[in-house]
Structures are given as C-alpha cells and as structure tokens.
Amino acid sequence: MDSDSDEEKYYISEDTEDDEPRPPSRRCSISEPPTPDFSVSSSEDEDDVGNVAGQQPEPCLWTLPPQPRRHVVHTFTGAPNWKSREAAQVASESTPLSVLLLFFAEITTLLVVEMNRYYYHFLENSDDGHSPEREVTEAEMFAFLALTFQLGHTVQGRLEDCWTKMEELRIPFYGQTMARARYYHILRFLHFTDNNRNGVDRTDDRLWKIRDLFEIIRMNFSKFYNPSKY
C-alpha cells in the first residue's frame, strides 16, 4: 500500500505542477528533423533546376595570397680581403679533376688512413686466420669513389651485377677499374675516424663518427669558395 500511495503522489505532483520556470536540464534532447515532402513539386522548382544545370561555370582567376616582405637577417659584407673572387683557385684552364681535388684530396687521405687502421684492428681481434689484404692506396680510394659515383648512373638492380660476365648486363668499366672483391673489401672497412682515439665526445656529439670528415668539408668550402651576393 505504501508503494501505491507513493506512485499516486508522484503522478499527482506531475499533474498539479505549477507553471514556474524550470532550471535548464543537463540532458540534451535531440529532435528529429522534419521529413521533407517530395510528393508535390511545383513547376517553378523544376524550371530553376533546369536553368542551373544548363549554366556554364564562370572561370575564376586564382592568385597568390599577399605575403609580408622578408627581412634580411644577415647583411652581405663581401669577400674577405684575401679573397678576390668566388673561387680564386679556379681558373679558366682548370680541369674538373683539379677542382675536385681541391675539396677531395684531403678527404681521400683521411679515408685511406682510417680504413687501414680499422682493418688492422679487425685483424687483431679476429680468429679467422685468413690471409690479410694489402693496404689500400690513395689511387685505389679514388677509383673506389669514382665507381661509387658511377653507380648512380647504372640500371643494375644489384651491386654484384655491375661485375657480371653476362653479355646482356656486363659493364666493362667496373671490372677494368677495380676487381669486385677489392671493391667489396674497401666498402666493408670504410671508416672516417679512429674508434680508439681518446678525447672524442661520444655522448653529446652525435656526429663523432664523421666529425673529422665534416670539419674537412667545412674548412675546404670556406677556403676555396666564397659565395657572391647574387
């Protein structure tokens, strides 16, 4: 009986509720949009649709949005006193090889020294007992770099195909320049720095493996080339 009386009180309170404004509810009531009535269509609407379909789109010209002018951060001061022009060491009689040697001669020496050092360290810690290879010379390193640059102009899908003996794929340039085993030997032990050298910052300098190479390139470009203003 108590439950029935509680229900009657609840329904009575709903029916006899005053017209006082209620506080906004926290629940969102979603009402369905009205269903459009397509049963009746006027002839004017059909004419409008036909006119729009027959119209041609008007061409519009697209332009770049306006951009603010960029300010020069570093003012061009010109070449240093000891630099008369952009590349003072390059003359009209200079050959492409002589210009290349300006930047790569010191790099080639670095590669030869560090690669032979790394290979000897490998032999000391190896127990294979195979016969050691001879030291790599600067002439061989130049040939290795030339073949590596040429690889970007070949169509072979694999490196070993450059030394293949198949007539349809054979490229005599590679075999005549360097044997495949010798090229693989240089590629395997190619190195840029001494891993056992003291004083090398291996924690903060993430480029310590190529730091010497990077410094040589930076100094050579600063020494042999001076960019102009334009």
The structural domains of the chain, with segments of one domain joined by +, span 96-195+207-224
- Helices assigned H by DSSP within the chain: 2-15, 43-54, 96-124, 138-150, 172-177, 180-189, 211-224
Question: What is the pLDDT at residue 19?
Answer: 54
Q: What is the DSSP string of 129-192?
A: -PPPPPPPPHHHHHHHHHHHHHGGG---SSGGGGG---TTT--HHHHHHS-HHHHHHHHHH--S
* pLDDT, tens only, 97-111: 888 888 889 999 999
- pTM higher than 0.85: no
For residues 1-16, average pLDDT? 50
pLDDT at 71 over 70: no
Model confidence pLDDT, tens digit, residues 201-222: 677 788 888 889 999 998 888 8
Place of tokens 């003996």: 165
pLDDT higher than 90, residue 183: yes
CA distance 170 to 76: 52
What pLDDT shows up at residue 154? 82
Encode pLDDT of 136-163 as tens digits.
Answer: 999 999 999 999 999 888 878 888 889 9
Instruction: Give the 3-state secondary structure of residue 18.
Output: coil
Measured distance between the N- and C-terminal CA atoms of the chain, rounded to whole angstroms: 100
73: which residues sit within 8 A by CB, 6+ positions away?
none
Residues 57-66: pLDDT tens digits? 666 676 666 7
